Each structure stands twice: as structure tokens, then as C-alpha cells.
Amino acid sequence: MSEADPIPIVEAGRNCWRIERAGKARMIVDAADYYELLARLMADAKERILLIGWDFDPRISLTPDADGSGEALGHYMLRLAKNCPGRDIDILRWNFGGLKHFFIPSILAMIVRWKATRSISFRLDSAHPAGCSHHQKVAVFDDHLAVCGGIDVGARRWDTREHQDDDPHRLAPDGKPYMPWHDSTMILSGPVGEALAELGNERWQRATKKPLRDLSGTGERWPADLEPDFRDVDVAISRTRADYDGCPEVREIEQLYLDLIANARRFIYLENQYFTCGKIAAAIAERLNGDDPPEFVMVMPKTADGWLEQVAMDAARVKLVREIAKAKHGDRLRVYYPRTARGDPIYVHAKTAIVDDRLIRVGSANLNNRSMGLDSECDVTIDAALSANRGIEPSIARLRETLIGEHLGVEPGEVARHFERTGSLIETIEALRGEGRSLERLDLAAPGPFDDFIAENELLDPTSPDAMFESLTERGLRKSWHRGKAWMKRRRRSR
């Protein structure tokens, strides 16, 4: 197999559900751009707006003004319903998070108003085992245009790509400022949008026991001023779903991550909120124990969001990275977090992967156990090795350069020039790191005894619904690690 003619990594039935054509596709980075686009997409929809997510907060403004306020999303939805009463507005969010909002009077009052509006249907999704969550972030418009990625339509998410210190727009519904936030999603049109509509319709029916109504079909309406990154490409859709109520377990996302790691030649660039999956970490370590392995660059938050997440996720991340560093070429893994011009950390919520500038993946799945086997997830992947996608490598490279440039506070062209000269992501980043807006190496100080116990036994990040009820002797990071090593060894033997 030559470098110029790689074999596709995505394979329907193995690491993805379906591969469908996208007439147009574009990666959207950070919620300021996505929310502005979302407002327009909802206004332009003729028959249905379908919003499926982990979070949905009607108090936020999609386009906040200079003092962080603006028309609340809930009121905007009511205005949409009034302007076009024949258009369905269907909203499905995770039940546990939604129940918390019922204790906030302004949210409860808005939901009551929605309930009284015939065209708005707001439902909670509890169609999963205990301890699991519905984590997909999918929006579909008229069953042909879809958004899939990591951006929740929730509080404390809005930010621009500049991630300015003390941006007055960045205010939570309670009026308090929040930290800079980095995220990503992808908008797609055509048959892949129809497939995501099918996935959304199926999820709605499982959660509500009622199907969405059939649409007449009104054709594609891609925003005229939105330049696509890709045209006429095939896109893979990968899922995670726990075994529940007659629907079998799906672990396509885990398999795709393992296949990316196994097939990378030069590098894997990852932006992700968590890194706690021992199986994935062991697969990386096995690659780094081989000859001439690829580089692995991870851009992550400095710390997880929330005390419980910090205890469970930060300690496990440190343990796994320190273990990977013991590999023969352990120095080919680098973990960074982005910071603002003042030096404050930028929270990374994105779930993006770019492999060798021949594959880009955007979705909802974190690099933790929950996203591999518990929570419902959905990722989309564009692989240049598919016959319809030949020649898109420069577009993928440009997206990588803009992401790294954003984090380093430099122009994408500067990233491209350094990478062309060195052929190394790590050398490029190290050469361009500096004061102010930049990437900082993650501190890998060993966790304390309590954090270590929580992380080692995966108490808050089990590998499956059944694992939540296993004894401590039957679970843990070490067992997950050994499963990853065993998978890589089986793969080598089968080649």
C-alpha cells in the first residue's frame, strides 16, 4: 500500500453505521458562530426543526449583545412558532439534566408556555440504562440539513474563536461571567443529513414512544453565505449506544478510535474534553512501542469542569499519560491546554480528530469509557481514502492549521510553513509556543490517594452499564489498559 493510495479507515458495519454523501459540509468552530448559524437555520426551516442534545437552556441568547444579554432562546422559539405555526419544533434532551432545570422558575415557566404552543414539542429522553446519559448533539432541519458535533445549546458555551479575556458577551443566565470555551461541530447537507434525520427520528421514537410525522420534502437550503469546506464527499456516521429495551449495544465509536490509532502513519491531532479510557490509551502506547510510530498531539482542558469530573477524569488522565510516556517512543505524545492572552486556561469541550491530514472526525464522543459504551453518542468522519473524497487532503490540512493557529495565537500560514519544514506537529507547536495566547504543556503531577483510588477503579467512568455494578476486583484502569494491548496484538497477528 503506497502513501498516495491509503485504504479507507471507515467501514460500514465495523466502525460506522452508514456512509452517506454530503452535498456540502463545513466545520463550525466555537459556539458564537454556531449559535448565529443555528438561529438562521431554524428560521429558514419550512416543516421541522429537530433539536436533540445533552443540554438545552431556553434562557440563553443565541446572539448576545455587548452586555451579554439579548433575546432568550425560549422566546425566540415562541416567535418562530408564531411566525410559522405549521412548522414542527421538536426538542429532545437528556432527562436527568432536564429535570434539574424544573427547579429553575424561569425555565419551568418557559416550558409551560411551550407546552401551550401546539407546534412546539419538548420531551425528556430516559431511553437508556440507569447511570447512562443521552449525549448526542444533533440538529436536523426539514430532514435534509443537519448539524452533528460537540456543541450543546446550553449555558456557559458561547464564545468566539478569539477567546478574549473578560469578554462582556460571555455571561451565564445568572449574570456571572464564565471561562473561555472552545468547541466544534459540523453542518452537512444531502443524504447524510437525511441519515442523521433518521437517527434523530429513531431516537425520538425510542424516548417518546411516538414517531415524528412524515415530511413532504422541500429540497436543500444551504445558507447562501456559508462557504463549505467540502463538496460532494462521503461521510461516515458512527455511534455509541448501550444495550437497552431490545436495542443491542453499539460500539462503533470505540472501534473507530482504535482503527484511527492503528492506521495513523504520521500523526493524530486530537481535541477532546477527557482522556480516561484505558483501552484507547493502551492502543496508543502499543503504537509508540513500535518502530517509527506516529505523533499524538492532544489539546485538552487544564482541568475538568466541576469537582466530581476533576476527581474522576483529571487523575485518570494523568495516570494514563504517565504510563504512555514509558513506551519506547513515549516522547511522541504531547498533551497541551490552550490559554488566553492573559494566561487564563481555555476550556476545551471539542471532540475533534485529524489523522495524517487524510481524515477528519467531529462529534460528541469523549475519550472516556462512558463515550465508548454507556452514553448515546454520534460522530461524523470524512476519510479522504474513500473514492468520492480523493483530493480533499488540503482542505483537511487547512482546518488543522486553523485550529492549531487559533490555540497558538498565530496565523494558519505560519503553522503550515513550520510543519512543511519539520514534518512534525510537535516540533511545529514547540517552535510557535510563546507568551500570552498559546498552548501550555499539561502538568502531570501524580494524583493524591483519594483521586487515585477513584480514577484507578473507574468509579465515575465505567466501561459499560454492567460495569457500574461490578466489584472493584473486576474493573479498573489496568483491566481497560490490558484490553487495549490485547486488541493491538490481535490486529498485528491478523495483518
User: Residue 7: inside a domain, yes or no?
Assistant: no
Q: Does residue 414 or residue 456 have the better pLDDT? A: 414
Q: What is the pLDDT of residues 150-193, one digit of tens each?
A: 999 999 999 999 999 999 999 999 999 999 999 999 999 999 99
At 356, the pLDDT band (50, 70, 90 cuts) reads: very high
Kindly state whether residues 411 and 454 are assigned to the same domain: yes
At 1, the pLDDT band (50, 70, 90 cuts) reads: very low
Is 350:186 a contact under the CB 8 Å cutoff?
no
Q: Which of 228, 256, 280 is the last residue of a domain?
A: 228
Q: Does residue 110 or residue 495 have the better pLDDT? A: 110
Kindly state whether residues 272 and 216 are assigned to the same domain: no
Rounded Cα distance between 55 and 137, Å, is: 8
Rounded Cα distance between 318 and 300, Å, is: 12
Number of domains in the chain: 2
User: Residue 329: inside a domain, yes or no?
Assistant: yes
- Percent over 70 (pLDDT), the chain: 88
User: Residue 2: inside a domain, yes or no?
Assistant: no
Per-residue pLDDT, 480: 76
Kindly state whether residues 344 and 209 are assigned to the same domain: no
User: Residue 74: inside a domain, yes or no?
Assistant: yes
Kindly state whether residues 340 and 407 are assigned to the same domain: yes
Per-residue pLDDT, 362: 98
Weakest mean pLDDT among 46-55, 332-341, 464-473:
464-473
Kindly state whether residues 248 and 322 are assigned to the same domain: yes
Does the pLDDT of residue 390 top 60, yes or no?
A: yes
How do the residues of the chain divide into helix, strand and coil, expressed in percent and rounded to 5? 35, 25, 40
Does the pLDDT of residue 459 top 50, yes or no?
A: no
Residue given cell 437508556 in the structure block: 128
Q: What is the CATH number of the domain that holds 177?
A: 3.30.870.10
Per-residue pLDDT, 469: 46
- Helices within 153-243 (DSSP H only): 191-208
Q: Does residue 490 or residue 475 have the better pLDDT? A: 490
Kindly state whether residues 331 and 198 are assigned to the same domain: no
One-character DSSP codes across 190-214: SHHHHHHHHHHHHHHHHHHSSPPPP
User: Residue 182: inside a domain, yes or no?
Assistant: yes
Host domain of residue 350: 234-494
User: Residue 5: inside a domain, yes or no?
Assistant: no
User: Residue 6: inside a domain, yes or no?
Assistant: no
The answer to whether the pTM exceeds 0.85 is yes
Per-residue pLDDT, 461: 56
Kindly state whether residues 348 and 376 are assigned to the same domain: yes
Exposed/middle/buried for residue 65 (C-beta within 10 Å: 0-12, 13-18, 19+): exposed
Kindly state whether residues 373 and 284 are assigned to the same domain: yes
Handedness of CA 57, 210, 131, 379 (dihedral sign): negative
Q: Which of 166, 196, 228 is the last residue of a domain?
A: 228
Per-residue pLDDT, 417: 98
Q: Does residue 260 or residue 444 have the better pLDDT? A: 260
At 482, the pLDDT band (50, 70, 90 cuts) reads: confident
Q: Hey, which bits of 340-425 come out as E strands?
A: 347-348, 352-355, 359-363, 377-383
Which of 447, 483, 475, 480 shows the shortest CA–CA distance to 459? 475
What cell does 286 get?
502499543
Kindly state whether residues 215 and 260 are assigned to the same domain: no
What cell does 16 get?
460506522
Q: What radius of gyration do the chain's Cα atoms show?
A: 22
Weakest mean pLDDT among 187-191, 216-220, 301-305:
216-220
Kindly state whether residues 115 and 243 are assigned to the same domain: no
Weakest mean pLDDT among 206-215, 268-277, 470-479:
470-479
Kindly state whether residues 341 and 293 are assigned to the same domain: yes
Q: What is the pLDDT of residues 75-100, one digit of tens each?
A: 999 999 999 999 999 999 987 666 67
Kindly state whether residues 219 and 263 are assigned to the same domain: no
Rounded Cα distance between 175 and 156, Å, is: 11
Q: What is the pLDDT of residues 414-437, one digit of tens each?
A: 999 999 999 999 999 999 999 999
The CA–CA distances, whole Å, from 153 to 93, 125, 301, 359, 482 equal 10, 16, 20, 27, 37
User: Residue 462: inside a domain, yes or no?
Assistant: yes
Q: What is the mean pLDDT of the chain?
A: 90
Q: Which of 167, 196, 228 is the last residue of a domain?
A: 228
Per-residue pLDDT, 68: 83
